[in-house]
Amino acid sequence: MSSDAPDRSDAADGDAAADPGDATDPGDLGAAEAVAATDGAEDEPEANDSAVEEAAKHVPSGSPSGTPPLRVEGLVKRFGGVTAVDGASFEVESGSLTGLIGPNGAGKSTTFNCITGVHEPTAGKVYFEGEDVTGLKPYQIARKGMVRTFQIARELGEMTVLENLMLAPQGQLGESAIRAVTPGLRGAVVEEETELRERAWETLEFFEIDHLAHEHAGNLSGGQRKLLEMARALMTDPEMVLLDEPLAGVNPTLEEKLLDRIHDLRADGYTFLLVEHDMDIIMENCERVIVMHQGSVLAEGTGDEIRNDERVIEAYLGEDL
């Protein structure tokens, strides 16, 4: 988040937000380290007006010039006899908020899962910032700067909001668990933990959930959880964030807050790909929309272009667009 955040190669050396399954394993930390990392009530900083500005200061380094951050080429995913994705190809422009839509069963979630390493594609390629990342594990893709939000797993629900954030770039902590017991390196570990804690507080303030820092994540409302999911993803210091229905079940006030934060971050150079069923949200917020149908890309364009595209109207069988 902040411009002086640790280098990604250190900060996201684990599954981070990309794989809650691993991120929930306390064994990754060691008990003493987990406590050191999370027992921070006494360090709680005063709410700080400049925190939001600080948090928004991060400027993603961006793609090599002219290279789209994400390029998907001829993606195919079969599950036995079911072809979920059938030759999908598209690009996402740097710094954009791009919507990925399509009728039920069009292949959107499977495409997300193939892009972020949850599924290995049957065929085709995924390039992130020009680099072939096809078939890499979620944590390897997260380390390169592309993360997706995940629902807060049950185990994480038993931890506080602050702990959830501090565990997000868990590779950094796992590394420091080893370094903490290495003479001569303890100072560096303390510095790293302090920096991580500061970033966690900045991120909480940015999402306006700092008042919930010591609340168990499991006690949050649906909308607050969505903010926490975004905050966890941001803690890994990504370039690109994939959001799979981030507003489902979120009340209008929190929905507006979440969208505002997405726009703030986009203005700072982050790139977003958003799957969302609510067409109004897509049309009002995404400058570019990709429409999937039966596993491949049916149309691409601005919201207006998509809304008036005969093929899209037909694919949605007259549903309101």
Ligand X SMILES: Nc1ncnc2c1ncn2[C@@H]1O[C@H](COP(=O)(O)OP(=O)(O)OP(=O)(O)O)[C@@H](O)[C@H]1O
- Cβ neighbours for 189, distance < 8 A, ≥ 6 positions apart: 176, 179, 180
Residue 286 CB contacts under 8 Å (≥ 6 apart), including other chains: 97, 98, 99, 274, 303
Q: Are 217 and 152 in contact (CB under 8 A)?
A: yes
Among 14, 40, 102, 246, binds ligand X (CB under 6 A): 102
Q: Does 294 bind ligand X (CB under 6 A)?
A: no
Structure tokens at 82: 């079911």
**φ/ψ bin of 240: left (φ > 0), alpha (ψ from -120 to 50), beta (otherwise):** beta
Q: How far is the CB of 183 from ligand X (least distance, A)?
A: 49
Q: State which of residues 3, 104, 252, 317 lies at the interface with ligand X (CB under 6 A).
A: 104
How far does the chain reach from its first CA to its final CA, in angstroms? 35
Does 108 interact with ligand X (rule: CB under 6 A)? yes
Beta carbons of 151 and 229 less than 8 angstroms apart: yes
DSSP 3-state assignment of 160?
strand
Q: Which is nearer to ligand X, 110 or 116 (CB)?
A: 110
> Binding to ligand X by residue 243, rule CB under 6 A?
no
Check residue 32 for interaction with ligand X (CB under 6 A). no
- Name the residue nearer to ligand X (CB basis): 98 or 224: 98
Query: Of 70 and 315, which has the nearer Cβ to ligand X?
Result: 315
293 binds ligand X (CB under 6 A): no
Segment interacting with ligand X, rule: CB under 6 A, options 108-116, 172-180, 182-190, 306-314: 108-116
Which of 185, 283 has the CB closer to ligand X? Answer: 283
Dihedral pair phi/psi, residue 174, rounded to 5°? -60, -40
Q: Which residues ranging from 53 to 82 are in contact with ligand X (CB under 6 A)?
A: 79, 82
Asked if 87 interacts with ligand X (CB under 6 A), we say no
Q: Which of 84, 196, 212, 299 binds ligand X (CB under 6 A)?
A: 84
Q: Which two tokens stand for residue 175?
A: 């590394």
Q: Tokens standing for 68?
A: 């789209």
Which is it for strands 240-244 and 146-148: parallel, antiparallel or unpaired?
parallel
Contact residues toward ligand X (CB under 6 A) are 79, 82, 84, 102, 104-110
